[in-house]
Every structure is written in structure tokens, then in C-alpha cells.
Structure 1
Amino acid sequence: MPDHLEAPLSVWLTGQRYPFVQSRAAGYVPGTETDTERIPPAVAAHAIATYTRPGDLVLDPDCGTGTVLTEALRAGRHALGLTTNNRWWSLARANVTAAKSAGAWRDGSVLDARPKVLATARAAGLTGRVGLVLTAMRTVSDRPNSPNHDPVELARTLRCCEPLLRTGGHVVVVARPHRHSDGSLADLTTQVIAAGTAAGLTPVDRCVALTAELRGGRLITRAALAERRAARATASPTSLVAHHEVLVFQFAHDAELAAAAVCGADAFNLLDEMAGRRCDLAA
């Protein structure tokens, strides 16, 4: 975590405005909303402000229509996104261009490529430079309207991103809640944690990014009409979803250092101990 920032709150007030109002105020191009699994602009902006500094590089390996890239540019960060969806690539490029035209930081790119390109020589110059990997957990590509996800594919994606992450950097995965056909919520948290762990990362935080407005002591849901109708159609009472799950990861040694700092331990002594353990194992 950047040393000039306080410990992040676990509940993010990111639903105070409707998503379409967020997009309109930020100058997103029409059609951005067709990516229904995009990270809402307010959620992306909050994650970027919390886990990066101005000038950092933000990577979204499955960027959709480019909300993460746009918010990174608007916040004075560099941005790189990947997608293989031709329509989303066009929209993401248009959003990046619009952000640049509005005076945002001018180093932003969208590649028509799969995440595995990050593990090739093309991305060699980015090794150790990414301050934040911020991406959404998406449904499987051949069933876009189903609540099925592929944690194995997410793990592959994160594994491709891992060499690019700088020391102290973070990986943040945002999961939009989905329901099974019986109305029960899918356990996406366990799937995301398993994917991050399989990619060699350590979970360090779990947050809630509100998609509902907090008004006084009440949550005012922003649920879409289709979700409201589905909730009314279930046999048992069903709550409307009011948040996205946010899972935060780091390298294991970065997580240890962060925990030591919170406890008041000497980070340099901890590094020496870790180096000694590595030497013992090598011996």
C-alpha cells in the first residue's frame, strides 16, 4: 500500500450515483454500458486511488469497454488494457481517446490480445513496472448470461500478470454477485481466492464496493429492473444485490512486510529473516 495513504476502508461508498450517471459525468462514449460486467467507474476510481500513486501503471488484462483504463488516466496513472472482443476494444479505445482529449494523462493503450501475451517478449519491458492489476471476474465467454465462472481461467490470467507486478504492488479482482437458478448467490469469493492463490499471490484484504446509495442509515438499491423482477419471481424472499465483492492480493513477501509494518516490526529485520530462510532452504 502506498505509504502516504491510511489503511483502506473495507466498505467502499461507490454507489452514491447510478452507474449511467457516473459514466455520463466522466464522458464515457455511448455503448460502454453494453459491457454489463464492467467495473463501475466509481469502484475503479476508488481502487486506483487506494492502491496506487500518480504515475503508476494500472493493468486490466480483461478490460471490456475500458472503465479501469479511463479512470486510471483520469487519476494521472498510466493504463494498459487487453481484450479480444472487437466491439469492446473499439469502445475501450474510444473511452481512452475521450479521456486524453479531456486532458487526462496521455499514456494509455488497449491491445487486441489475450492475457498470455503478457508472458511473451512483447511485454518484457513491463516486467516489475505494474503498480496495480485491476480486473473483473467475468462469466465464461460462451455463456455470457449464466452465473458460471472459470476460476482456472482467472488463475491463468493472474499468473500472466504476476511477473509484471512491482514490489509492493497489488492485484484487485472485482466480482459482481450472480445467483444460481434457485435464487441462491454463487460463492465467487472462494473462487477468486483460489484463483489468486493458484497464481502465486496471497489474499490480503476483502472489501465490499457498494452499488447501492448509503442514505443516512439506509441502503437505497440501484438494482436493475430485470433483477427486481427476478427477485419477485422466486419462491422465497430474495434480497437485491447491493455491492460487488473486492478481493485484494499481493506477493507473499509484500504481505508479510505489510503485516509487520502494522504490528510495528522492523521491515529490514524481517527481510533479513526471509533471506536467511531462503538460504536454509537452498542449502
Structure 2
Amino acid sequence: MTEHLSSVWLTGQQQSAAQRRGRYLPESMAHPGKMLPAIAARAISTYTEPGELVCDPMCGIGTSLVEAAHLGRYGVGVEFEQRWAELAAANLALAGTQGASGSGQVWCADARDLPAPLPESCRGEVSLVLTSPPYGPSTHGHARSPGPRRGKVRKVNNRYATTPGQRSNLADRSPDELAEGFTRILTGARALLRPGGHAVITARPYRHGGELVDLPGMVITAGQAAGLELVDRCVALIAGIRGGRLVPRGSFFQQHNIRLAHAAGDPQWLIGHEDVLAFRLSGGA
């Protein structure tokens, strides 16, 4: 039986906006679901060496690719929505102007079609597949207040677009459909991995229709179904630590929903970490 590495990553000491300030274009904050740069950087540093290839099959605004470039790696990304694919490319260009020694490239395509969207030269050459499945509008979004006595606080930047005539974004599908789609993505990504390479997925539970969805468990099942073996399971904090106490980084709406649940006698708690699930090809190939 494989012995899994267990550790805690202190990746939430700075808020998301502070981690991105000056390193990403300002419009990047509008994306509904972004991996923390500190989590991406830690995963890349842990599972790759300089000069190696990193792939993010759902790269969004390109966080994994930008952090890889700053660490001297080379990144390839796939993004379903044209808007974010263009922004990821722009963030990579910004990294180049800031002295990043690596580089990257983005393809606008559906990750469920992997490995087809990427060049043949990528197959069997990727050292790290790094990504995170979408959580849906219950977790994503920012609060906007119209001011005193001008109406309710509203939620923005919490939904992905749906391209007419194409399969909708996985974030807009049911948990079962998300699980099926993510299994397809990992199965396609498996063909990209070099011998000894890793697929690292970050995930945390979320609520859908009031029910808690065990997204980390879903990812483990999807990885195993794709022919991958779980070898590490770490904790990446999205909360800060000050004076030995956790400092929550949850969104306005997450914290508001927790307060409502407590008031109703439902003991819900604000999640302060991401599970980091690291896989290798089954059999150690």
C-alpha cells in the first residue's frame, strides 16, 4: 500500500487580491474561480524542476501557467471560454515583461477533448498536470453594495458564460455531470504525463442546493477511474494564521451563509483549506 505524504502548506497568509496585485492584470479578479497563486507556486516547486513542462487543462486566467513561468518552467493551458483564454495569454505576456524565465501558451478548447487540443509533442512530456475543478456559483463571486438604503447587496462575478451551440461549462452542471466530465479530463490528461509525472488537483467541499458535495472525494474517484494512483494528500490553507489562530478568507456570501445556518441551528463551518491531491500513473509508470 502506498504511504501518502501529509503536510500543511501555509498558502493563505495573504489574501487573493494581494497575491495577484501587480503580477496579474486587474481584470483577472473578475474570474469566478481562481487558484491561489501561492498554492500553484507551491505545487510547481514541489513536483517539478526548472525547465520542465506544466499543463493546466482548465487554466482560467492562467494562474498555474504564470506561476510556472516565474519559476522557470514552461506551461501549456486549455481554457473553454475565449475571454479567459485571451486573459491568460495576456497574463503570461505580463510575466514575460517582469522577467519570468519560463513561458507558456494557451489553447481555447474543451478540456474534455484532451489530449487532442494540445500539440502531439506534449504527449508523454508533461511533468505536472495542475488544475482545480469548478465549484459553481454557491462558492464563487464578489459582493457589491449599492450604498445605504439603495437596495440589497448583490453578487457579481459568480457565474461562467455558456457558449451558444457548445457544451456548457462544467461549473454549470450538476455534481454528477461534473464528476463525469472531470473523469474525462483526467483520462485525457493522463496521456500527457511523462513517466514519474504527477497530476495535482486542488479541491474543497461545497454546497449545492443546500447539500454538502464531497468534491475531494469525487476527485479521488475520478483520478482512480482515469488510471491514476493517489500518492500524496496535503492541506493548502486558504485562511491566514495570526498569533496561532486561523484568519478566515471566505467571501462575503460564504460568511453570510454560515451565519444564517448557525442562526437556524445548522452547525456549518467556514472551510479554511483546499485538499491537494497528487496522483501518479498507476503502477508507478
What's the TM-score, normalizing by structure 2? 0.80
CA deviation vs aligned residue, 1:176-214 (integer Å, no higher than 9, x gap): 4312443x5321122101110111101112111100012
Matched, 1:159 2:155: no
C-alpha distance in 1 between matches for 2:274 and 2:21: 21
CA deviation vs aligned residue, 1:230-278 (integer Å, no higher than 9, x gap): 11111223211111121110012228xxxxxxxxxxxxxxxxxxxxxxx
Map 1:218-233 → 2, pairs under 5 A: 218-233=245-260
**The 10-residue stretch of structure 1 (245-254 or 113-122) with the greater mean CA deviation from structure 2:** 113-122
Higher relative CO (CA 8 A, sep ≥ 6), structure 1 or 2? Answer: 2
C-alpha distance in 2 between matches for 1:121 and 1:86: 14
Query: Against the structure 1 CA distance between its residues 139 and 220, is the aligned structure 2 distance closer, same or farther, given a 3 Å change threshold?
Result: closer
Q: Identify which of 14, 39, 54 aligns with 1:17.
A: 14
Per-residue deviation, 1:144: 4.1
Per-residue deviation, 1:12: 0.8
The gaps in structure 2 that reach 5 residues or longer are 137-167
C-alpha distance in 2 between matches for 1:143 and 1:133: 18
C-alpha distance in 2 between matches for 1:103 and 1:119: 30
The gaps in structure 1 that reach 5 residues or longer are 1-6, 256-283
Partner SS state of residue 179, structure 1? strand
Partner SS state of residue 31, structure 1? helix
Per-residue deviation, 1:116: 5.0
Aligned residues: 247
Cα pair 1:37 1:176 within 8 Å, conserved: no
Runs of 4 or more off by more than 6 Å in structure 1?
none
Matched, 1:40 2:23: no
Q: Identify which of 92, 95, 120 aligns with 2:91.
A: 95
CA deviation vs aligned residue, 1:151-186 (integer Å, no higher than 9, x gap): 11111111111111011110011114312443x532
Query: Where does residue 109 of structure 1 map in the other structure?
Result: 105
Matched, 1:138 2:134: yes
Partner SS state of residue 43, structure 2? helix
Per-residue deviation, 1:120: 3.3
Partner SS state of residue 191, structure 2? helix
Cα pair 2:54 2:128 within 8 Å, conserved: yes
Per-residue deviation, 1:35: 2.0
C-alpha distance in 2 between matches for 1:95 and 1:9: 32
Map 1:1-283 → 2, pairs under 5 A: 10-25=7-22, 27-115=23-111, 118-120=114-116, 123-139=119-135, 141=168, 144=171, 148=175, 150-182=178-210, 185-234=212-261, 235=264, 236-254=266-284
**The 10-residue stretch of structure 1 (58-67 or 101-110) with the greater mean CA deviation from structure 2:** 101-110
Cα pair 1:12 1:208 within 8 Å, conserved: yes
Cα pair 2:54 2:65 within 8 Å, conserved: yes
Partner SS state of residue 247, structure 1? strand
C-alpha distance in 2 between matches for 1:187 and 1:117: 25
Per-residue deviation, 1:11: 1.1
C-alpha distance in 2 between matches for 1:146 and 1:154: 11
CA deviation vs aligned residue, 1:107-142 (integer Å, no higher than 9, x gap): 310111122554339532112210000011114745
